[in-house]
Amino acid sequence: MARRPRVFAPGLLYHVIVRGNHRQKTFWDKRDFQAYLERLSRYRKKFGVTVYAYCLMPNHVHLLVEGSNEPLSKFMQGLQQGYTQYFNRHHNKVGHLFQGRYHAIVCEKDEYLLALVRYIHLNPVRAKLVRRPEQYLYTGHAEYRGSNGAEIIDARMVLNMLGGKRAYQRFMTEAIDEGHREEYYEVEDQRFLGSERFAAELIKQPVEKDIARTRKPLGRMLGALVKKLEVDEETLRGADRSWRTSRARAVVGYVLVRRLGYRLMEVATCLGRDTATVSSLLSRLGERMGSDNSLEAKIDGLVQDCLE
């Protein structure tokens, strides 16, 4: 069955669920959790996304976010690809970390905002990882309580609706024994959580295009990258092996293959190299990114420029 396109409009509330590929763990240690949270903070600022709740479980992630004028896919691509690159470098892995396409359920805000904040932050309790939500370090619960948090959550609306931090704590405690809520997953038209009227109105909204399916032609993307890097396209294809040209060649290949999903063979042909040579370039660059934050930031900036 063909995948249904995602609905897009500024201000929509999304319950996003991302699972590990083949149910594998996506977080192995404290450093992994922190790396994901750092990227969540970075990309929610970059794309103007409001985060109301999050929960990082060992093999999946829950996010409750309000979209901005940018499609949700841009925010999620930066977040997921950025963390996957970190994870593969840190643990010496290759390939996909997360399971295919993430789920993004559009939720009726007035009806479900509070319920989903509570449900997501109680996920570790339902999974019996802890007895109380404050014992689990990788959710947005601490920020609502006013204790040290990652400054990711925008708590104002929820706290105003409930009547403050103490009321929030009571709200959480009332449902601490609540079990799994299947109705939050088995939703209208596989996309909407809300009334029939809400779903009917959303269907009228524009759909969000799949970035992978609307990619620019490879030649055009290559031209944009070399312009940003201030290097001549013919030089990249030529015999020049100077440090500056070799680095630019590696950066271009890395962005196109590892971050934007173009095929290695096609990129190698564009660069006038064989696939083994380009693959080696990308591997060495990926290793350097593990110890060079400025290089990683540069790659992230080039990716976002290409997507705009």
Is residue 172 assigned to a domain?
yes
Over residues 145-155, the mean pLDDT reads: 81
pLDDT surpassing 60 at residue 12: yes
Sort 88 into a burial class: Cβ within 10 Å, 0-12 / 13-18 / 19+: middle
pLDDT of residue 190: 53
pLDDT surpassing 80 at residue 147: no
Q: What is the mean pLDDT of the chain?
A: 83
Task: Using alpha carbons, list the distances in angstroms from residue 18 to 126, 163, 275.
Answer: 18, 31, 32
Over residues 54-70, the mean pLDDT reads: 93
* Max avg pLDDT among 85-94, 163-172, 200-209, 249-258: 163-172
The CATH number given to whatever domain includes residue 193 is 3.30.70.1290
pLDDT of residue 139: 96
In percent, the amount of the chain with pLDDT more than 70 equals 84
Torsion sign over Cα 138, 11, 260, 203: positive
Is residue 1 assigned to a domain?
no
Give 45 or 197, the one with higher predicted confidence: 45
Q: Residue 2: pLDDT band by 50, 70, 90 thresholds?
A: very low
Over residues 179-193, the mean pLDDT reads: 67
List the structure tokens of 283: 């591997």
pLDDT surpassing 80 at residue 212: no
Q: Which of 211, 237, 258 is the last residue of a domain?
A: 211
* Distance, CA of 138 to CA of 53 (rounded, Å): 11
* Distance, CA of 6 to CA of 205 (rounded, Å): 10
Do 169 and 105 share a structural domain? yes
The CATH number given to whatever domain includes residue 289 is 1.10.1750.10
Do 190 and 55 share a structural domain? yes
Do 185 and 72 share a structural domain? yes
Do 240 and 196 share a structural domain? no
Is residue 111 assigned to a domain?
yes
Over residues 94-123, the mean pLDDT reads: 86
Do 135 and 96 share a structural domain? yes
Is residue 279 assigned to a domain?
yes
Do 298 and 172 share a structural domain? no
Q: Residue 150: pLDDT band by 50, 70, 90 thresholds?
A: low
Q: Which of 171, 193, 211 is the last residue of a domain?
A: 211
Is residue 87 assigned to a domain?
yes
Least confident of 6-15, 89-98, 208-217, 276-285: 208-217
Is residue 164 assigned to a domain?
yes
* Distance, CA of 122 to CA of 217 (rounded, Å): 45
In three-state secondary structure terms, 63 is strand
Do 192 and 226 share a structural domain? no
List the structure tokens of 69: 């004028």
Contact assessment for residue 158 and residue 117, using Cβ atoms and an 8 Å cutoff = yes
Do 240 and 181 share a structural domain? no
pLDDT of residue 3: 52
Instruction: Quote the number of domains for the chain.
Output: 2
pLDDT of residue 257: 80
Over residues 244-258, the mean pLDDT reads: 87
**Partners of 54 in the β-ladder:** 63
pLDDT surpassing 60 at residue 188: no
Helices (H), the chain: 30-47, 72-91, 109-121, 123-126, 141-145, 156-162, 165-174, 196-203, 218-229, 233-237, 243-254, 264-270, 275-289, 293-307
pLDDT of residue 204: 54
Rg of the chain, C-alpha, whole Å: 21
pLDDT of residue 93: 80
Cβ atoms within 10 Å, residue 111: 14
pLDDT surpassing 50 at residue 83: yes
Is residue 155 assigned to a domain?
yes
Task: Using alpha carbons, list the distances in angstroms from residue 225 to 70, 99, 147, 205, 261.
Answer: 22, 29, 43, 33, 15
Do 246 and 159 share a structural domain? no
pLDDT of residue 211: 43
Q: Which of 166, 190, 211 is the last residue of a domain?
A: 211
Q: Which amino acid is at 216?
A: K
Do 223 and 197 share a structural domain? no
Do 95 and 191 share a structural domain? yes
Q: Residue 274: pLDDT band by 50, 70, 90 thresholds?
A: confident
Do 161 and 67 share a structural domain? yes
Over residues 3-26, the mean pLDDT reads: 80
Backbone torsions φ then ψ of 17, nearest 5 degrees: -125, 125
List the structure tokens of 279: 């693959």
List the structure tokens of 139: 């959710």
Is residue 165 assigned to a domain?
yes
- Please name the residue that has the structure tokens 């994870």: 87
pLDDT of residue 81: 86
The domain of 173 spans 6-211
pLDDT of residue 210: 44
* Distance, CA of 35 to CA of 45 (rounded, Å): 16
* Max avg pLDDT among 143-152, 201-210, 218-227: 218-227
Element (H, E) at 57: strand 50-57
Over residues 60-72, the mean pLDDT reads: 91
Over residues 12-36, the mean pLDDT reads: 91
Contact assessment for residue 154 and residue 51, using Cβ atoms and an 8 Å cutoff = yes
